[in-house]
């Protein structure tokens, strides 16, 4: 079975906290027999670019077997990594549909039917954030990621307000968004407000691992990194520091499902804790993340998802959420159906 055609769509939908509409590039690959597969990334392309880019990609992909997924990672035309991830995702979806199997069955099967998730919350003042955190906790989301404002006093106040509101029933994480220098990050991590956090992600404004390792040795708050992970070799470099126990793996950043599995394998071999992380999705990439999280036991904790992924989608049916866990779609491929009417409705002109 060979790829016959490829289409690109740029959509903007809903609200991503205070950052405006969520924009995604959708990739659709299809066979001459009419089977299709979908992928998604956050590439910042413009709609005017899509026809030329579509023609270039179609010339590379048309005629290739859908089973040669590893080969996609050798194609220079599929750079950068987010594009490679979206194309790979679409081809996996197509293969699963051809084989009439959910994608996770191609990775090892259902390790669990529902995946606990960590909701990413951000873009609000401390009091508002505390109220939102409580509402999400009442919905069953007992792991939540708070996002740095870039102002240390406000960050400390936000963490304190959320902790007071939700108590110990919620596991809190904090994304420093690479905002701070070493001294400021150290003071923040040593503050009483940060005691009890599960981990702090990328608080430093430098990508140098030795600086993150130095911070880890000066605080009891566990640290994690996401922005430095682009390849399994990066995971190895992080783990060699010996003091960073968590690695956050973004499908889009590492270039797809295959490299994400390799990153998880390296982390697991070193007794570190890999966590799947992703940019907000309009549903397609979220479904791919769920299939990977349910098939790879190394991703046994709460993997990150944005709240908008549960409501603002191009899917015919929303992802099912029960008690803070998202049900893995069990249909063939990604297990979800893309609503073409929604794609057209939210397509960027």
pLDDT tens digits for range 109-147: 998 999 999 999 876 788 899 999 999 999 999 999 999
Distances (CA, A) of 245 to 22, 213, 271, 289: 31, 11, 8, 21
Residue 308 has pLDDT above 80, yes or no: no
pLDDT in tens, 191-230: 999 999 999 999 999 999 999 999 999 999 999 999 999 9
C-alpha atoms less than 13 angstroms from C-alpha of 295 in its C-beta half-sphere: 21
- Pairwise CA distance, residues 96 & 274, whole Å: 25
What pLDDT is stored for residue 15 in this prediction? 60
Which domains are assigned to the chain?
Answer: 5-100 (3.30.390.10), 106-327 (3.20.20.120)
What pLDDT is stored for residue 290 in this prediction? 96
DSSP per-residue letters across 53-106: HHHHHHHHHTT-BTT-HHHHTT-GGG-SHHHHHHHHHHHHHHHHHHHT-BHHHH
SS3 state at 259: helix
Model confidence at 310, in pLDDT bands (50, 70, 90)? confident
pLDDT in tens, 69-118: 999 999 999 999 999 999 999 999 999 999 999 999 999 999 899 999 99
Q: What percent of the chain has pLDDT over 90?
A: 90
The Cβ of residue 202 has, within 10 Å, a number of other Cβ atoms equal to 23
Mean predicted lDDT score pLDDT of the chain? 94
The Cβ of residue 154 has, within 10 Å, a number of other Cβ atoms equal to 13
Model confidence at 18, in pLDDT bands (50, 70, 90)? low
What pLDDT is stored for residue 19 in this prediction? 60
Among the listed residues 244, 212, 262, 223, the one whose alpha carbon sits nearest the alpha carbon of residue 88? 262
Distances (CA, A) of 344 to 49, 54, 131: 17, 17, 35
Q: What percent of the chain has pLDDT over 70?
A: 98
């Amino acid at each position: 079975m060979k790829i016959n055609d490829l289409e690109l769509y740029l959509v903007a939908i809903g609200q991503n906290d205070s950052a405006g509409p969520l924009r995604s590039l959708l990739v659709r690959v299809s066979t001459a027999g009419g089977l299709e597969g979908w992928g998604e990334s956050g590439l910042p392309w413009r709609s005017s670019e899509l026809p030329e880019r579509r023609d270039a990609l179609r010339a590379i992909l048309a005629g290739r077997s859908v089973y040669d997924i590893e080969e996609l990672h050798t194609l220079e035309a599929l750079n950068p990594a987010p594009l490679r991830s979206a194309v790979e995702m679409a081809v996996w979806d197509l293969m699963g549909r051809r084989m009439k199997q959910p994608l996770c069955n191609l990775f090892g099967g259902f390790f669990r039917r529902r995946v606990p998730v960590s909701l990413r919350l951000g873009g609000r003042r401390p009091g508002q954030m505390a109220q939102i955190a409580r509402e999400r906790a009442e919905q069953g989301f007992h792991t939540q990621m708070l996002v740095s404002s870039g102002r240390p006093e406000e960050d400390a106040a936000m963490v304190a307000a959320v902790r007071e509101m939700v108590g110990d029933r919620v596991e809190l994480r904090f994304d420093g968004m690479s905002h701070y220098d070493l001294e400021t990050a150290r003071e923040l991590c040593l503050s009483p407000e940060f005691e009890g956090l599960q981990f702090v992600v990328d608080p430093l404004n430098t990508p140098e691992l030795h600086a993150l390792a130095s911070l880890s040795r000066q605080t009891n708050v566990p640290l994690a990194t996401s922005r430095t992970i682009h390849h399994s070799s990066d995971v190895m470099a992080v783990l060699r520091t010996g003091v960073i126990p968590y690695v956050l793996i973004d499908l889009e950043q590492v270039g797809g499902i295959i490299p994400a599995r390799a990153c998880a394998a390296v982390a697991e071999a070193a007794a570190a804790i890999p966590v799947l992380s992703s940019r907000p999705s309009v549903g397609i990439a979220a479904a791919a993340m769920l299939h990977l999280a349910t098939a790879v036991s190394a991703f046994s904790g709460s993997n990150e998802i944005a709240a908008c992924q549960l409501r603002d989608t191009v899917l015919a049916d929303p992802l099912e959420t029960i008690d803070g866990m998202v049900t893995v779609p069990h249909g063939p491929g990604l297990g979800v159906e893309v609503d073409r009417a929604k794609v057209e409705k939210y397509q960027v002109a």
